[in-house]
Structure formats: C-alpha cells, structure tokens
C-alpha cells in the first residue's frame, strides 16, 4: 500500500466530496479492490472517511462535500501525515500535497502534524532476514518522536546497555524497524527488535531544527553500505533464481548482464570472502562463481569440510553390502 496513493485519494475526496471505489480506481489507475482497501485504510487510520450506504453511495469525507479538512482532530492529522510522510521523501507531488494539507490544518496542532510527517521513513531494501512480526514498541517510540520526549532505553546489542536518547525518527527497512536518535556520543541507530525496554520521560528531546529524517537515513545507509561492501563477486545463475538472490543480498546484489539460455550475471558484495561463500554454498550447482579467487577458495574449503563430515564411510558402506 503506497502512502502517496492514500494522500492522492484524500485530495480527490476533498475535491469531489464523495467517490465510489470504482471512480477512485479509474482516476488512480488501480484495481477496485485496491481502491477499497485504501479507503478502508484511511478510515482505520483515523481520517474521517466513511462509507455511505444505499444507491449512489460511495465514500465521503465527513464535514461536507468540499471540506477544507479543518475538522480533523490532532490525532487524525497525525495519522494522515504518518501515512503521507514516508512517501514524501521521494515524491515532489506528495511533498506538495502535504504542504497544501498542512496549510489547511488548525495552527494549534500543525507542529504535531509536521513532526508526524517526518517521524517515519520507509526503506524497502533489506539488510538481511526480516523479523516475523512488527515490534510492539514501534507505536510507543513513534509517539515519543512526535511528542519530542527523551526515552530511556535498555538495549541488547553486542552487549546489554542502558542509555537516555533523543528520538529523532523511525525507519521501516523492509519490515525491520530502526530508531534514529541523538545520544551523548552523537547520532546512533538502534534496531527496535533489540530494545528490551523503552521508557518515555518528561524531559524535552533535543532534535536539530533542520533535521530531515530521510536525509539522515541516507547517511546511515551509505555508512553501513561502505562497511558491508568491501568485497564483490561475480555470480552466474538462472534468471528465475534472481529474485531469491536479490532477497538474500538486498542492495548488495546488482544485475550486471543478461546471458544466453535465460541466465544472468550478478555482482554480490559482503565484507569478507567467507561471508559471500557462506551465502552461496547452499546454492550448489545452481550458481557459478566467476571470481574473485578468494571466494572460490572459500567455497572449495566449505565443500571439503562438508564432504569430510558427511561423506559415507567406505569401510562401513562395504560392510553393509557384504552378505551375512
């Protein structure tokens, strides 16, 4: 579900007052089922969008056919900008839409809406295996970001630690959530599913006035990518396996060339040869590693270890075949 499409839906309803799922689908070039899900998502998020029963019904913004959205509550506005904010980083149209909607909001809670719009960033490229479910602390931390309140964390990273942080924003990276925060030692990034406890305080958080979460996250990603991409290897595989390989390596899998017989060459990256080899060893004959030699050597070493450990013992095998 795209946040920019939800904002477009709301703007269309503002202009027309009432729309059907079929009209919305035709206008936004999506399926009727998707349009209906988007309308239901807006309603579930707290935006005053309700279905109108009966002939000629459809969906309507409460407050009149051409509402200026000034009837939104603070929580409803936060819900709207939480939906639209993640899409705004990569879409000038959504940025423009959010600015227009911001101007229609009552000044009493415009600041909260602005904070909500920059509270979450969505990054769809993964860094590894995804957790099975969304961490329960996401909502608590999001509220602390919007309220600008410091949070006391107990964090289980390489070692368990406690710290007081200034929450700047949350990032949803392919269903793995990260908290970007200021600390006494500067900016830090915490994986939310490794936070043991999070306790908001009454202290006001220190958040740079010119901070743009999307820009900060790009810096974090570039820093991590530099550390993780010290070595590359070229791998040939069947095209049908490409999505799986991309899922395993995320940003570190780049399509290099289309090859005959429906095969492709990709370039994968990791900090060390053994890490690439460990990922590729399970593919067996389905992949061909063209280089570098360090990765090929690691694959040979892993293969030798597996053969030594799991190959049948020839002595016992001969005994089992000898008639009693």
User: Are residue 213 and residue 253 in the same domain, yes or no?
Assistant: no
135 near 192, Cβ under 8 Å?
yes
Residue 315 lies in a domain: no
Asked if residue 111 and residue 21 are part of one domain, the reply reads: yes
Are 238 and 276 members of one domain?
yes
Among 60-64, 87-91, 197-201, 204-208, the range scoring the smallest mean pLDDT is 87-91
Range of the domain at 273: 229-310
Residue 214, pLDDT > 50, answer: yes
**Each residue of 126-170: pLDDT tens digit?**
555 555 566 778 888 888 887 889 999 999 877 788 989 999 888
Residues 200 and 253 in one domain: no
DSSP for 171-207, please give it.
Answer: EEETTEEEEEEEETTEEEEEEGGGEEEEEEEEEEP--
Q: Give the CATH number of the domain where residue 263 resides.
A: 3.30.70
Cβ atoms of 268 and 279 closer than 8 Å: yes
Does 318 map to a domain? no
Number of domains in the chain: 3
Residues 241, 304 within the same domain = yes
Distance CA 301, CA 303 (A): 5
Question: Look-up: residue for tokens 């499409």?
Answer: 5
Contacts for 219 with CB less than 8 Å, ≥ 6 apart: none
Same domain, 28 and 97: yes
Helices and strands of the chain, counted as H and E runs: 12, 13
The predicted pLDDT at position 255 comes to 92
> 235 or 114: whose pLDDT is higher?
235
- Residue whose entry in the numeric block shows the structure tokens 């608590």: 140
Q: What are phi and psi of 269, to 5 degrees?
A: -140, 150
Q: pLDDT, tens digit, for every residue of 295-305?
A: 999 999 998 99
- Domain membership of residue 109 (yes or no) is yes
For residue 60, list its beta bridge partners.
18, 50
Q: Are residues 127 and 199 in the same domain?
A: yes
* CATH label of the domain that carries residue 194: 2.30.30.100
Q: Do β-strands 160-173 and 120-123 pair in parallel, antiparallel, or remain unpaired? A: parallel
CA distances from 255 to 113, 127, 230, 263, 290 (A): 40, 18, 18, 11, 14
Q: Are residues 170 and 270 in the same domain?
A: no
The phi, psi pair for 189, rounded to 5°, reads: -120, 130
Which candidate, 176, 153, 151, places its Cα nearest to that of 166? 151
Are 26 and 54 within one domain?
A: yes
Domain edge (last residue) among 174, 204, 226? 226
Residues 130 and 202 placed together within one structural domain of the fold: yes
Residue at which a domain ends, from 117, 140, 172? 117
Q: Which of 90, 117, 144 is the last residue of a domain?
A: 117
Assess if residue 323 is contained within a domain.
no
What's the angle, vertex CA 239, arms to CA 233 and CA 244, rounded to 5?
70
- Global pTM? 0.44
Pull the structure tokens for residue 174: 């392919």
**CA dist 312 to 303, 306, 307, 316, 317, Å?**
15, 11, 9, 8, 7
Closest residue by Cα to residue 139 from 174, 102, 177: 177
Q: Decide if 324 is inside a domain.
A: no
Residue 319 lies in a domain: no
In a domain, 139, yes or no: yes
Same domain, 12 and 107: yes
């Amino acid at each position: 579900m795209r946040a920019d499409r939800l904002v477009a839906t709301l703007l269309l309803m503002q202009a027309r007052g009432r729309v059907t799922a079929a009209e919305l689908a035709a206008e936004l070039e999506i399926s009727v089922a998707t349009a209906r899900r988007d309308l239901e998502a807006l309603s579930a998020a707290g935006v005053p969008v309700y279905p109108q029963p009966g002939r000629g019904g459809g969906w309507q913004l409460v407050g009149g056919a051409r509402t200026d959205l000034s009837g939104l509550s603070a929580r409803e506005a936060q819900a709207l900008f939480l939906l639209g904010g993640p899409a705004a980083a990569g879409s000038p149209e959504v940025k423009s839409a959010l600015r227009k909607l911001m101007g229609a909001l009552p000044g009493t809670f415009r600041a909260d809406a602005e904070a909500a719009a920059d509270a979450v960033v969505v990054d769809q490229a993964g860094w590894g295996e995804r957790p099975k479910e969304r961490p329960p602390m996401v909502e608590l931390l999001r509220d602390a970001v919007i309220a600008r309140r410091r949070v006391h964390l107990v964090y289980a990273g390489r070692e368990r630690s406690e710290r007081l942080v200034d929450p700047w924003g949350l990032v949803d990276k392919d269903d793995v959530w990260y908290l970007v925060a200021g600390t006494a030692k500067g900016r830090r990034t915490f994986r939310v599913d490794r936070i043991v406890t999070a306790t908001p305080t009454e202290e006001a958080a220190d958040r740079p006035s010119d901070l743009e979460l999307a820009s900060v996250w790009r810096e974090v990603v570039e820093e991590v990518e530099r550390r993780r991409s010290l070595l590359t290897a070229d791998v040939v595989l069947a095209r049908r396996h490409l999505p799986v390989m991309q899922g395993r390596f995320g940003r570190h899998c780049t399509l290099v060339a289309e090859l005959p017989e429906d095969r492709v060459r990709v370039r994968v990256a990791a900090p060390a040869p053994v890490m690439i080899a460990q990922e590729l060893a399970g593919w067996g004959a389905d992949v061909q590693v063209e280089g570098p030699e360090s990765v090929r050597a690691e694959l040979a070493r892993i293969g030798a270890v597996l053969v030594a450990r799991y190959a049948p013992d020839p002595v016992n095998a001969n005994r089992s075949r000898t008639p009693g």
